[in-house]
Copies of this chain bind each other. A is one copy, B any other.
Amino acid sequence: MSTLPPHLANLVGKPVNDIDTPALVIDMDAMKRNLARMAEFAKKHNIRWRPHAKLHKSSSLAKMQIKAGAVGVCVQKTSEAEVMVAGGVYNVYISNEVIAPAKLARVAELTQKVADHGGQIAIAVDSTEGVIRLAQAMTEARLGNKTGATVIDVFVEIDVGQGRCGVEPGSAAVTLVLEIRKHPALRFAGLQAYHGKAQHMRSAQERREAIAKAVEAVVLTKKLIEAQGVAVELVTGAGTGSLMLEAASGVYGELQAGSFMFMDADYAQNERDPAQPQFEHSLFVKTQVVSTHGTHAVCDAGHKSHAIDSGLPLVHAFDTESELDYFNGGDEHGILRAAGDSKRLPGLGRMLWLIPGHCDPTVNLHDTMIGVTGGLRHGTVQRIFRVDARGALT
């Protein structure tokens, strides 16, 4: 692992004011409260949690989550899994389909690697061809490796309403389960049943209905598989928008929610389900005003600093006097206008904090996240987190 550039390494212990802009900053106190709430929630519901590391792409934060009670992490990409393992995270689930033989060879290699640390790699499949290619890669890796008989955990993904990957619930899943069981290097580990669309449905009622249907699809599929004499050990899924519903379902055994740790501006716009733990925003883009005008001010954070796929960022208000709206100013700029009754615009050089619309792709734009304790106004830099899986696309 390469060392931090001096301007970052020297920042630890310094006041928040010293952080150059734009920069991605974690309010560590808020993040730790979110982690504790999630751990408590999972304990209360007697359910495992395996947060999605596609959010933070940081092996350091993954280890912090495992220390707080997570059983491991999910990732979406082979290269993300490699970064996690290299960073000392040995329980990694690639909750996505991998098809390219060259990538599957890398997945198989990882299964051997984590076995030495008592870890386990898991992966999702949604096609017979995918199962066969995975089995082939595992067999080849076993031949080349003296430690021999490592096994990869395989989850069959069913489409519970997302309309993206996954086979139809029911018999198509059974076919895949039976195919998996033909191959000694593969172990059928359960069902992947994630409803991505449900996460961002605004009303609690819509989300309840969507997850009720997902649960129905899972129950049906589970029964059909069990009718073949095969146990379905685990159903895994759920995101920050719906986790209280899967947790209460009695069918899901593992929650994959990741965003709760940082809380997107978008998620905060969901009507809150009373059963959901209350999570706080803990990830911010620190920015600075570089140009002022009668009608607006311009800051130095645009969509190369934060993702805008789920809407523009919100301007964090420390007090009611500083209400500002953020408008799209392109790749490198944000346009700020007074919101509500406020007529006040920030002056040149003024520091502001943006709450990203969507944290996952925002983190992926940054090499580091700067962890601060004691608040954003008067706090101190405690730790620099490297986004070691940033840009891990393959």
Contact = CB atoms under 8 A, between A and B. Distances in A.
A292 interface: yes
Contacts of A349: 99-100, 129
Task: Count copies of this chain in the complex.
Answer: 2
- Give the most central of A288, A303, A390: most B CB within 10 Å: A303
Given A20-B103, A127-B291, A365-B391, 10 more contacts: A2-B2, A20-B394, A97-B298, A130-B348, A164-B291, A303-B307, A303-B309, A303-B361, A364-B365, A366-B391
B332 A165 contact: no
A388 B308 CA distance: 24
Interface in A284-319: 288-292, 296, 298, 303-305, 307-309
Interface string A337-350: 00000000000110
Contact of A305 (B165, B166, B393): B393
A31 to B, nearest CB: 21
A381 to B, nearest CB: 15
A291 to B, nearest CB: 4
A291 B100 contact: no
A330 interface: yes
- Give the most central of A100, A196, A304, A367: most B CB within 10 Å: A304
A333 interface: yes
Nearest to A127: B348
Interface residues of A, number: 56
A283 to B, nearest CB: 16
A225 B347 CA distance: 27
A296 B159 CA distance: 13
B288 A99 contact: yes
A190 interface: no
Interface in A95-137: 96-100, 102-103, 126-127, 129-130
A335 interface: yes
A331 interface: yes
Interface string A68-105: 00000000110000000000000000001111101100
Nearest to A295: B163
A52 to B, nearest CB: 10
A86 to B, nearest CB: 13
Contact of A394 (B21, B97, B102, B335): B21
24 contacts: A20-B100, A20-B102, A20-B394, A21-B394, A76-B332, A97-B290, A99-B348, A100-B349, A127-B292, A129-B348, A130-B348, A163-B296, A164-B298, A164-B329, A165-B291, A196-B330, A303-B309, A303-B361, A304-B364, A305-B393, A308-B309, A309-B328, A331-B364, A364-B365
Given A290-B97, A367-B391, A393-B22, A331 B305 contact: no
Contacts of A304: 360-361, 364, 393
Contact of A164 (B22, B335, B360): B335
Contacts of A308: 309
Nearest to A390: B391
A394 B298 contact: no
B164 A289 contact: no
A305 B79 CA distance: 14
B333 A360 contact: no
A23 interface: yes
Given A298-B164, A331-B360, A99 B54 contact: no
Contacts of A102: 20
A198 to B, nearest CB: 13
A196 B332 CA distance: 12
